[in-house]
A and B are shown apart, each in its own frame.
Chain A
């Protein structure tokens, strides 16, 4: 027999909370760019809302916050220059916490708040289920970082990825290894979606050339001791090592490899290209290569971005802030070209993008909405800074 004595209150509470939600649903559409200047939009014709979907809380918040800051910087600059089509850009944040379930909720929230477009997308696994939500709602999204193959395959056509695909990055690494005369390589990733994807692509490309992958390892995020890994690599003796994940573990691995006497070619992927890598790895970072988009610091056009970023947020831009900055500007550019804030118009304008120069390189899309041209170059650490190699 159901005990009604207690269960009624369950339903009452559920109902109460729902009412509360309805009420609060309205509030959260208020201009919410916390870091945006709160100037009165008198010279603006109105406001346009852009959604930001990033992991701003949780274990990946470092990158999430970094990318979010880049958006804020871009938005501030655009607004200072008169906004988009005379409208002031305001932003609202959907925190995906790098969790597919939370991402779905975040996407739904952004859609309910009637954003005209979304920028963001760091974790591929979390971004994936949101593609359909944005597609169904007719909201175009520019993904700044996530680039797993599954995203490309499941894209209903409303999402545009401006981070070069894993394939391109793998190709970059493979070519560089070849140029350095490397015959055998070892691969290391951290088990995350992006790193694993990149590793597998590199592996298949390398093996397609008839060359051998001697070691293939996955490390645990948060682990500090890689001595066992280093010893087995030394034992197998590959000519080159490719680390496909992020800087925290990357710095430790590089350091421990070099300390153990490993003298082969080390390449790290763009997730490790943050200046923090050099800081953490110290002198061991010298001579390490990186497959990355032309890093903000090295691009004269980007020098301004770096200075402004540092001035505003008191920290160096991270690995993906340049791309996110570009993504925001790209959206604004597409809206200008489309002459409207209508979803399908923006989408079409994005698809037609030609000759857009971002600080990470030129943007142009293929029919699958991926970056048309590989932006990747090879960087190398010289005198404690990233520089172009070759």
Chain B
């Protein structure tokens, strides 16, 4: 009983803290100043930062993009997806195979990778989205395993050893092969992802998703085709993932099945849930925490996953809305 009281206190404190932040942000000038400041710092990093810092930040941006994509499916549409790593793999391998084996230019592989994701999303989504959400969870999990096993056992994907020799993209004559190039590339993509997420959220489809999440039957009664809407979410989310995967492949120049395992899917999900499902700043925060937290303390290493899992459990029990509260929500949630 005591624990519950303590935990409630923590959540209340979190609420007051973030409420204060929000008040602070109320002043428009301050907002803009901080925004510009933060932006400048981020842009400046590759100039003085070590390779390691850039590597970590690039990874963080990648995570942000991926989590935003997953957020469309889990956060906006409320569908549990346990195989997101597989869609990233689809994008990565499409780009990888076309580039390494057939010598296709990177930029040309992008629309193809998106297409592949759309097809995969349709194949998985169309049959299962009309069933209860629990089924989708297991099917996506199974799909994740299928993709991983397939990729590991056929020659064209390089088998277990993976694909090597993926070409670097060429951008207006410059070959992108420095870590700073990729830093900026992923930074821009992350900003784009945030922008697109907001647009989606405010669009008609976005509102339909919200409605469905709040009350599926009422939404249906109002004429929203629930299955189609969910399918859209699933496919758009998949496309996000595939694009992220393609850029990932270009950066790594070598990909292997070990990067796309169930554990990765779980971590992405964790990041989305941690910050607050559906809330874009929360999701970004979650992605940042999941990528940066392990770097801050090396001793934690072994216990990383279990700590995250316990945090996830506690979150679900005591603060399902995530760390970042919705401004609309006055905290009376139990």
Contacts and interface: CB of A to CB of B under 8 A. Distances in A.
Contacts, number: 170
Interface string A53-89: 0001111010000000000000000000000000000
B10 interface: no
Given A11-B35, A218-B153, A100 B259 contact: yes
Contact of A101 (B37, B51, B252, B305): B252
A335 interface: no
A248 interface: no
B41 interface: yes
Contact of A196 (B161, B259, B284, B305): B161
Contacts of B115: none
Contacts of B313: none
Q: Which of A20, A34, A101: most chain B Cβ within 10 A?
A: A101
B38 to A, nearest CB: 3
B55 A104 contact: yes
A128 interface: yes
A286 interface: no
Given A24-B295, A56-B302, A13 B285 contact: yes
A6 B42 contact: no
A105 B52 contact: yes
Contacts of A7: 35, 194, 198, 280-281
Interface in A298-326: none
A8 B319 CA distance: 24
Given A8-B35, A11-B38, A14-B42, A101 B259 contact: yes
Interface string B285-328: 10010001001101101101100000000000000000000000
B53 A193 contact: no
Interface residues of A, number: 63
Contacts of B153: 191, 218
A347 to B, nearest CB: 20
Contacts of B179: 108
A191 B152 contact: yes
A111 interface: yes
Interface in B125-151: 149
B204 to A, nearest CB: 16
23 contacts: A7-B194, A9-B25, A10-B284, A10-B285, A12-B35, A13-B38, A15-B37, A15-B41, A17-B288, A18-B49, A21-B57, A22-B49, A25-B52, A25-B53, A56-B301, A101-B259, A104-B252, A105-B52, A125-B161, A125-B258, A128-B254, A193-B160, A196-B160
Given A3-B198, A7-B198, A125-B162, 6 more contacts: A9-B21, A14-B60, A56-B302, A150-B162, A191-B160, A220-B149
Interface of B: 21, 25, 31-32, 34-35, 37-39, 41-42, 45, 49-57, 59-60, 149, 152-153, 159-162, 164, 179, 194-195, 198, 248, 252-259, 263, 279-281, 284-285, 288, 292, 295-296, 298-299, 301-302, 304-305
